[in-house]
Structure 1
Amino acid sequence: MTCEHLVVVGASLAGLRGAEAARTAGYAGRLTLIGDEPHRPYDRPPLSKQVLTGSVDAAATALPNLVPLEAEWLLGSAATALDRAKRTVTLRDGRQVIYDRLLIATGARPRPWLDAEQAKFAGVHTLRSRDDSAALRMALAGKPARVLVIGGGFIGCEVAAACRDLDLPVTLVETGPAVLAGVLGIYLGAVVGALHEARGVDLIFDAKVEALEDDGTGRVVRARLEDGRTIETDCVVVALGAIRNTEWLAGSGLAFDEGGVDCDADGYALDDAGQPDRTIAAAGDIARFPHPLYDDRRVALEHWGHAVTQGAHAARLLIGQGAGSYAEVPTFWSSQGGVTIKSVGLTDGADSIVIAQGDPKTGRFLVVYGREGRCIAAVSFDSVRWLPAYAEMVASRAPFPPPGGGVDEGPLTPMASGLPRGDE
C-alpha cells in the first residue's frame, strides 16, 4: 500500500526529525504532526541547565526545521486513542485523524510525587516540559531559602548544579548510596557526588523522603524523611525518573506498558501476539526494541542523539525507504557544575570497570565498562577526545579490559562496577 498520509504522534525531537527524514527521503504525501503541548518542537537539554540559570529563555529553545516540512500541525490536543482497524487516531478535543502510516513518538513525562495532594503544594515542581522549566526558573529567580531535589539521577544532579550556579542553598536526597549509582555505578557516582559536594550541594544518601508538608495554606515548607529527619524548604524539585506516554494506546492491540511500546528489530510496533504491524513504527523514549549490541535485550532509551537517529530510521521504514535493524550505539551527555560527562554504549549489567585514560584526581578521565569479558560502554569526564576510539570498541564487541599502551593511559586495573547485573 502506498503511503498517502504519514501521521506522527509526538511533536518533539524524534517526531520532528522523523518527519524531516521522510521528506528528505522523497516522501511527497500528506504529513501531519500531533502534539499534546501548544508549542512547536523544542530542545529539552537546556531546560535543566541554561534555562534554569537564566542564560537562555525557555521560549528560545525551539528546534530548527532542517528541511521544509509542508506539514499540518495539530498542537495542544493529545492523542487519546488508536483504532488500528480503522487506522484512526483520536485526539482529546474529539477530532479523528486517519493515517496510512503512523509514527509513535509520544515520549515520556516526569514521574510525579507519590502523594497527589502534596504534589499540588505551591513550590513543588517537576521538570520535563518548556513550561515546567519556565515555572522553575521563576521560582529560582525568587531566591528560595533552600531548594530540595528529590532524586539523584541526571535531572536531579543538573538541577542541583544549576542551583549552585545561582548561589542557592540546595539539598539533594537520594535513596541509593550515591548519585547516578544506577547508571554509572557506585564508584563513578561517588566521583560525581564529590564534585557536587565541593560546589556546596548538601547530599543525603540512603534516605527517602516520606512526605512533604505545607504551611496550612498549601505552600510547601518542609520535607520529612522516613528516619524522622526534616528539611526546611520552600522549593522542591521532584526528579524521580520518567513514565512513557503509552496510556492512549489502551485497547489498540499493541504490546506496551509503562516502559514503552514493544517493537521488532526493524522498528515496527508489535501487537499483543508479538507480530509486527507494518503500518506503525515507534521512535525515541517510547520505543522498546531489541538492541543487537546487547544480545537483543529490549531497551528504551531517553537519549537526545537516539531520538534523532531512531526517529529518522522509523520514518524511512514507514515510507518504504528503510532497510535493516536499528543498531546505533547509544550516546548520552550531561553537563554538571562545569564538567561534561559523555557516554557511549549501555552500562546496564556491567560487572567490571577500568580507568582507561586519565585520572579521576585531575577531573579528566575515561572509564570503560565490561561484562563477561566484553566492552559494553565507556564514560568520559571532560575528555571527549578519547571517546570515539572506545565507541568503536563497544560497537565491535572488543575484549574487556581494553588493551593498554595509549597516551594518558589509566591504570587498567579492573574493579567492581557497582552496578546491578542486568539479569538480576
Structure 2
Amino acid sequence: MNKKKIALITILSIISIYLIYSYFSSDSDSEIYLTTKVKKGTFISEVITSGEAQSTSLKKINGPENLRKFKLRDIKIQDLVPEGSIVKVGDYVARLDPTGVNEQIIDARINLENALSKYTQQQLDTTLTLKEERNAIKDLSFNMEQTRLELKQSIYEPPATTKKLEINLEKSERDLRERKENYKIKKRQANAKMVEVGNEVSKIKKKLNNLLELLKSFTIYSDGNGMITYFKNWDGSKKKVGSTISPWNPTVASLPDLTKMESKTYANEVDIRKIKKGLPVKVGFDAFPDIEIPGIVTDVANVGENKRGSDIKVFQVMIKLNETNENIRPGMTTSNKIETFQKKNVLSIPLECIFSSDTITYVFQKKGFSIIKKEVKIGNSNNDAIIIQEGLSENDIVYLNKPEGVDNDKIVRLN
C-alpha cells in the first residue's frame, strides 16, 4: 500500500470519527448551537414605528358660526356623508339637529304676535286719545268764539256783564293755549310709545329672520372640491353622526389636500433619544405593501404624553412625505422606518452573539474544532445587530447562543 492510499485512509477515518462523534454528541445534547459569520458592509440603525397618514393642509367644513349669539350649545350632527366621499363645491355634506332652533323660532313667532298686538293696541289708544284732545280744542275754540260774539253784543249791557264776558274770554284763550300745549305733549308721548312698541316688533322680526337663516345653515354644503374626512376631536375621536359641535368648535368635517401628506407617529422614551429633525424616513402603508415613500422628520415633541390606556410615555413625531401617491388617503396606517444612524464598511454581528462579564464584552468564536471567548469592542447597535470595532474580522464565525462547558474558560483580551 503506497503512501497516498495510507494518507487518504487516515483522512477519511478522521472525518468519519468526527462525524460519528458529532452525531452521537448532538443526540445526547438537547442544546443546538447556532453560528453566524461576521459581516462587513453598510450598517443602518432604524427606529420603526406605526403611525397614521394625514394631510398637512386641511380645509375645514364648518357649521353655523353664530351659535353663541342664540345661546345654542352641543348641536348634534343628524346626518353626515360617508368618510371618503368625493364632493364638489355646493354638494351636500351634513345636516344638524334643528330642535333647539325650532324651539326658539316658535317662541319668536309667539313673541312677534304679542308685540304686533301691543303695537295695534297702542296705535288705537293713541288715535283715540289724540282725537279726544283735538275735539276738546275744537270745543274750547267754539266756546271762545261764542264768548267773543257775546262780548261784541254786550255794548248795551251793564259794565259788570261786559267785564264778566271779558274775563270768560280771557280764561277761554288761556285754556285753549294750555290745551294745545298739552296736545303737543301727548302727541309726543304717543309717538314715543309707538316707536317703543314698533322697535320691539322690529327687534323680534329681526331675530325671527336670523333664526330662519340659521335654520337654513343647519344644512351644510361643501365650499370646496375634494374628499371628505371626519374631523378629529382633541381626544382623537372622530366627529360622526350623533357627535356634537359647539360655538367654539363648529367644524363638522374637513377636505384634506392630498398633495401635502404627513405621517403622525409616536416613539417611546428609549427611541426618542435617537430621533431628531431632518432624519430620513421610509414610509410604508399597511393597505399597500408595495408602496414606500421617502420622507423626513419635521417635528419631534419635547414633552411626552401618556399612551391611551397605559402609563407608558410616548413622544409625538411628525414625518413629511416627500412624494405623493394617488392611492394614499388620510387615516391609513403607516409603517415608519426612521434612519437614525448609517456607517459604511463596518463589521457587524447579531445582538444575540454579544455577552458580557463585569466591564468586558466578549463573543464565543469558533476556531477550527475549538471555541474561544474573545473580547470585542462594540459600537452602535440597532434592533438586530451591533457594530464590532475591534476583536473580529470579516467572515469570522461566532456563536448565537452560549456553548456549554466554556464557563471557566479565560477571555482572550484585546491587546
Q: TM-score, normalised by structure 1?
A: 0.16
Kindly indicate which of the two structures has a greater share of residues assigned to helix.
Answer: 2
Higher relative contact order (CA 8 A, sep 6+): 2
Return the TM-score normalized by structure 2. 0.16
